[in-house]
Amino acid sequence: MSPSLKLISHKLCPYVQRAVIALTEKGVAFERIDIDLADKPDWFLKISPLGKVPVLVVPAPRGEVAVFESNVICEYIEDAQPGARLHPDDALQRAQHRAWMEFGSAILGDLWGLETTQDAAVFGAKREALTAKFARVEDALGEGPYFDGVRFSLVDAVFAPVFRYFDVFDGYADLGIFASTPKVRAWRDQLAQRPSVRTAVGADYPTLLRAFLVRHDAYLLKQAA
């Protein structure tokens, strides 16, 4: 029997990875369908109002329903699917987690600038912005090993794809972004070992990301010694 859930995906998208990690942590079977965002299929544009991935296609009594926006998809997975709970039970703690998920999205915005700019000044500004944001994350972390202590949560699912970028970036230069954040470094290392995180992308992810940097003639590439 084929999986009932379909996740419309792109191989490099960090927002897709959030959903993949959440589904994997829940033990939910799903079909992943990768598309080319440079040549979006008509069927995809019909179900994605914003023209973005991920989209989770869910069976419903009156036909399939498309759920879009990564955090909304993660919340649906948490609410509707069995398996390990990925949000705290307490309402205030849940709200805090949701806020840090949004903070993770803000970090991704700075990362986009860092990886695509050809300008040294913009690159420097984005590096400083990321360093400042991770300093705020450092202050929010407890004893670990995860954001919420011993329990893996949706905040972890949001930040794991963020850290994955640096696995490739580190091959070009030490950007110093984590130099003063030992808790963040430990969290990053812990997430990298999590099976759901490791399998959220294909083995070709580093190659695809490097090719993306080359296409953008990224200033980051010039950091190599």
Residues 67-92: tens digit of each pLDDT: 999 999 999 999 999 999 999 999 99
Q: What is the pLDDT of residues 9-37, one digit of tens each?
A: 999 999 999 999 999 999 999 999 999 99
Please tell me the total number of residues recorded for the chain in this structure: 225
**Confidence check: pLDDT of 2 > 90:** no
What is the mean pLDDT of the segment spanning 184-189?
98
Q: What residues does each domain of the chain span?
A: 5-80, 91-223
The answer as to CATH 3.40.50.150 being correct for domain 5-80 is: no
Distance separating alpha carbons of residues 194 and 176, to the nearest angstrom = 24
pTM for the predicted model, two decimal places: 0.96
Rounded CA-CA distance 120/117 in Å is 8
Using N-to-C axis directions, what is the helix angle for 91-116 and 70-80, rounded to 10°? 150
User: Band of the pLDDT at 123, cuts 50, 70, 90?
Assistant: very high
pLDDT tier, 223 (very low <50, low <70, confident <90, very high otherwise): confident
Predicted local confidence at residue 183, as pLDDT: 98
* 13, 57, 175, 177: the active-site residue: 13
User: Is residue 13 annotated as a catalytic residue, yes or no?
Assistant: yes
- Of all residues in the chain, what percent carry a pLDDT higher than 90? 96
The dihedrals phi and psi of 149, each to the nearest 5 degrees, come to 85, -125
Domain 91-223 has CATH 1.20.1050.10: yes
